[in-house]
Amino acid sequence: MSCLGHCNKSLLIGELSKVNRMLKNWPVLRPLAGRFLQSIITLWLVTVLFFLVIELSPGDFAVQTAGQGTTPDMIEATRHELGLFASAPQRYVAWLIGLLTGDLGTSWWARRPILPLIAERLWHSAWLFSWAASVTIPLSMVLAFMAARWHDGRFDRASSMTALTIMSVPEFVVAYTLMGLLAVQFDMFPAYTMFALDMPWSERLHASVLPILSLIAVTVTPMFRLTRAALIRVLQDEYIEMAEIKGLTRWRILMHHAVPNALGPIANAIVLAMANLFFGLVVIEIIFSYPGLGKLMVTAAVLHDVPLVQACALIAATLYIGLNFVADMIGILANPRIRHPASPDR
């Protein structure tokens, strides 16, 4: 037994030494592993938080869905059927075990498996997200390049002031303003996006123009501000002054010297803006009655459909935390002090 224990100890020491050598050869692995572990812990805490919020809020699913003719005995029977008499820790552990085995459970409200229900709503949200992102990213990049090119000029001051004004306005105010102008005043687009899955994509796009425009308006401004700040910060470095002394044009300096050195912060700004775009989907979907994941989660929360709320929160938090992890990863990989810790610049 002692020989076996000694062999196991030697194997463990050998594996640890391999891991240590890997971390030395790839110094970026240590901060990436730390960020990944933080993301997993944060995701678990989000599920706990949502479960506690639903538990501590008054009422339950049996009460919220009770009609005028529902008797107390019928409410008790519903609670017994759903297992609501079990303690909160027991129900959370049961949900967590089901999650680890790939079972998200059944929605109490929809009376159907949660996974296909969420997949359908997630596809609707992805439609809005993809259209908004396809416009937001190039538009914010163009505006940021123009503002950096004419830094402290009229365009830079006007665009910065406009961006700050829009950023200070809540999402619902922007959405209702667009609805009042384009749906009520000029009657160009429908105020509510009710459509079927078999609709042609052109009709579907026309029905969802207002939520897409609202998402673009609230997302393009922070991305523009972050990208502009990254470019201007790079343009103030000494090698940019040397390029100007050599007589290079402003656009050549911007595209061939500033942009390559600002790719890390720019990519980080894009990913963070996409994470905020996904968060803004919840508000926009509720305002325009859009059948997406955000509206489904709010409906489930109102009805105290705990399994559906937990599943929606898990997927939304996974996407949001995942995007933030990608932003952290880009920032780490773009930092030469982390990639080359033994370099003279450190």
Place 339 in a pLDDT band, splitting at 50, 70 and 90: low
In a domain, 20, yes or no: no
Q: What pLDDT sits at residue 344?
A: 46
248-270 pLDDT, tens per residue? 777 777 777 777 777 777 887 88
Q: What per-residue string of b and e applies to 156-195 under the rule 16 or more CB within 10 Å gives b?
A: beebbeebeebeeeebeebbbebbeebbeeeeebbbebeb
Q: What pLDDT sits at residue 145?
A: 85
Burial (0-12, 13-18, 19+ Cβ within 10 Å), 232: middle
Q: Above 60 in pLDDT, residue 72? A: yes
In a domain, 235, yes or no: yes
In a domain, 196, yes or no: yes
Whole-model pTM: value is 0.77
Q: What pLDDT sits at residue 130?
A: 92
In a domain, 241, yes or no: yes
> CA separation (Å) from 234 to 238, 243, 269?
9, 13, 15
In a domain, 25, yes or no: no
Q: Above 50 in pLDDT, residue 346? A: no
Which range marks the domain in which residue 163 is found? 127-295
In a domain, 8, yes or no: no
Q: Above 50 in pLDDT, residue 36? A: yes
In a domain, 325, yes or no: no
Number of compact structural domains in the chain? 1
The token pair that represents 134 in the structure block: 């396809």
Q: What pLDDT sits at residue 20?
A: 54
**β partners of residue 106:** 113
In a domain, 243, yes or no: yes
Residue 195's CATH number: 1.10.3720.10
Residue 113 main-chain phi, psi, to 5 deg = -55, 145
> Measuring CA to CA, which residue among 341, 296, 335, 291 is closest to residue 315?
296
321-331 pLDDT, tens per residue? 888 888 778 77
